[in-house]
Amino acid sequence: MMNSTGPKSSLFVPEESFEQLARMQIKILEEPSLRCIDLVHDELQRILNCIEVPENNNLREKIIEVVNNLLRAYKQPTREMVRIGSYQYQSS
């Protein structure tokens, strides 16, 4: 990029160069993003296991069951959304 403008850098980066750099960064960030999803999922489960519902153990168990089912149901679609978004930008 610098060679194309000579010794003086321009204010704007050429669009093609910018897109290439953006694609590289998105590819680099895909794996940490997927790891972040796993970490958030694990943390939400830890928080869930710490809830206190006084005098009603059945309610606590049901809350944990329902929320765990939701966490499991949305984890994979969230990972797919990150992968698809990354792939779509890289292929455009």
* pLDDT tens digits for range 76-91: 999 999 999 887 776 7
Query: Whose CA is closest to 85, among 39, 17, 37?
Result: 37
Runs of H (alpha helix) within 1-92: 2-5, 15-49, 57-91
The whole-angstrom separation of Cα 23 and Cα 8 is 26
- Read off the pTM: 0.71
Percent of the chain at pLDDT > 70 equals: 86
Digit-coded pLDDT (tens) for 20-45? 888 899 889 999 999 999 999 999 99
